[in-house]
Amino acid sequence: MNETMEMKLRDVADYVDTLKLEGKDQEVKRSYLIHTLHKAQEIIGYLPVEVQKLIAKKLGLHASEVYGVVSFYNYFTMKPKGLYPINLCLGTACYVRGSGPLYEELKKLLGVEEGEVTSDGIFSLHAVRCLGACGLAPVLMIGEKVHGRLKKEDLPRILEEYRQLAKTQNV
């Protein structure tokens, strides 16, 4: 385990402490599990086994119970994502406006499959269902930014934008 990971784990532990769950009912503690996993994923970017174990200990659960929850919910991932995760919407509104072919095109442009990270670490590709921006269908989201009314031709330009951004971030 490297140093940054250790630091991040400490952040997660500190966060759980702020919830002041010590001495509370087991039921109440457990009800903070999903909440805590969200926070941990926000801090680390994904949910490696170490953090699952840590959360299990803090909330008085067995590690297998935590893993059971992590693997059940689509939002949680045990694999690291790219610097800019690309979430392409395959919800119904986007699908009927052609997000299917866009998804294929992105796979081709990035050379990755669903959930994979590009070799330069900049992007990862994820299919999601409805970002609630159906008015702009078809859409994709990179970070918190939604790109809407997409056409195939727009994709290379958008990717390039983020590649340039990545350069300025020194990664």
Binding residues vs other proteins (CB under 8 A): 27, 30-35, 37-38, 59, 68-69, 72-76, 89-93, 95-97, 128-137, 139, 144-148
Asked whether position 142 contacts ligand FES by CB under 6 A, the answer is no
Quick count: other Cβ atoms within 10 Å of Cβ 88? Answer: 26
In the bound state with other proteins, the residue whose beta carbon lies nearer, of 136 and 171, is 136
DSSP string for residues in 41-79: HHHHSS--HHHHHHHHHHHT--HHHHHHHHHH-TT--SS
Question: How many C-beta neighbours within 10 Å does residue 81 have?
Answer: 20
Q: Is 92 in the site for ligand FES (CB under 6 A)?
A: yes
Q: Which is nearer to ligand FES, 9 or 89 (CB)?
A: 89
21 near ligand FES, rule: CB under 6 A? no
**Can residue 150 be called a binding residue for ligand FES (CB under 6 A)?**
no
By CB under 6 A, residue 88 contacts ligand FES? no
Minimum distance, C-beta of residue 138 to ligand FES, in the bound complex (Å): 7
Question: Is the bond preceding 138 in cis, omega lying within 30 degrees of 0?
Answer: yes
Burial of 8 (0-12, 13-18, 19+ CB in 10 A): middle
* Site for ligand FES, residues 111 to 140, rule: CB under 6 A: 130-135, 137, 139
